[in-house]
Chain A
């Protein structure tokens, strides 16, 4: 397999994730789509790392995984807080925010 095949796959997965971010109004789905996008980037980085015989790509993939893990912890905490306050996880409710 060539580098292009992996990069095209990575682009397709990123595209799916981006559709999710733009289309879904359910905040939980928004988090899922973000995870998909981060994973797509990881595949691309690992492929570049292999085909250029350089470990830097894999290192960046590790740090992206670490960032994804902390994003989930904080994001889910905020989501639970928002649900306790409003009783729904609809993105449109966020438009009602007033300072």
Chain B
């Protein structure tokens, strides 16, 4: 009973939040509703008994990714409206529906068709985090390390890309120096 109520409540909330994200014209609303939707998504992970994944969802997505987006949005005036002309909106919606249906069918077909045997069965003796740690550091150690290297490369790449052409630090200059610099730029 509890699970059914929780499922439908959070399903409704996530779908509403993500719809706002997709259909709003205001970037700030989109960011906030996306963050809320991410939190509600974590509820499904808790319902499914994947507590560690739920915690990671809150920490990484709503903590790190959303903060990164918020910082990124400071670099461009995100409230300026972008002209969005689509020549044939109905066709876009139809094609979207068909394409996503096909994708879902392709990925769910093997699950329905065959009997699946668990490679790493869930052991009810231990908690979820314990089991995740056990499998992650024995069977998935190499992908784990590769993911770590990938994150490092992405971090360095992000810093280099965002920091390009920032040879002058405005925070270390006085007001007069900044005015002088701006005048030189305009010339």
Interface size on B, residues (CB 8 A): 85
Contacts of B30 in A (CB 8 A): 28-29, 32
Interface size on A, residues (CB 8 A): 70
- Contact check, A67 vs B18: say whether CB atoms are below 8 A apart: no
Between A and B, 24 residue pairs with Cβ closer than 8 Å are A5-B7, A6-B48, A9-B44, A11-B100, A18-B99, A25-B82, A28-B30, A29-B30, A32-B22, A46-B44, A49-B122, A52-B118, A53-B121, A54-B119, A55-B122, A58-B50, A59-B139, A62-B136, A65-B61, A66-B150, A69-B151, A77-B162, A79-B72, A89-B76
CB proximity of A20 to chain B, nearest CB, Å: 4
CB-based nearest B residue for A50: B48
Contacts of A12 in B (CB 8 A): 15
- Contact check, B68 vs A81: say whether CB atoms are below 8 A apart: no
Given A9-B11, A19-B96, residue A39 in contact with residue B38 (CB < 8 A)? yes
- Contact check, B111 vs A54: say whether CB atoms are below 8 A apart: no
Contacts of A5 in B (CB 8 A): 7
Contact partner, B72, options A47, A61, A68, A76, Cβ 8 Å = A76
- Contact check, B53 vs A62: say whether CB atoms are below 8 A apart: yes
- Contact check, B118 vs A11: say whether CB atoms are below 8 A apart: no
Contact partner, A29, options B27, B37, B104, Cβ 8 Å = B27
Residue B86 CB within 8 A of the other chain: yes
- Contact check, A80 vs B162: say whether CB atoms are below 8 A apart: yes
Q: How far does the alpha carbon of A34 sit from the alpha carbon of B108 in the complex, in Å?
A: 20
Residue B180 CB within 8 A of the other chain: no
Q: Identify which of residues 22-51 in chain A touch chain B, using a CB-to-CB cut-off of 8 Å.
A: 22-26, 28-29, 31-33, 35-36, 39, 42-44, 46-50
Residue B177 CB within 8 A of the other chain: no
Q: How far does the alpha carbon of A20 sit from the alpha carbon of B92 in the complex, in Å?
A: 10
Residue B127 CB within 8 A of the other chain: no
Q: How far does the alpha carbon of A18 sit from the alpha carbon of B97 in the complex, in Å?
A: 8
- Contact check, A46 vs B50: say whether CB atoms are below 8 A apart: yes
Q: How far does the alpha carbon of A47 sit from the alpha carbon of B182 in the complex, in Å?
A: 56
- Contact check, A55 vs B22: say whether CB atoms are below 8 A apart: no
Top-10 shortest CB links A-B: A77-B161, A70-B154, A73-B158, A54-B118, A20-B22, A77-B158, A76-B72, A55-B120, A26-B82, A25-B84
CB-based nearest A residue for B14: A13
Residue A74 CB within 8 A of the other chain: yes
Q: How far does the alpha carbon of A31 sit from the alpha carbon of B78 in the complex, in Å?
A: 14
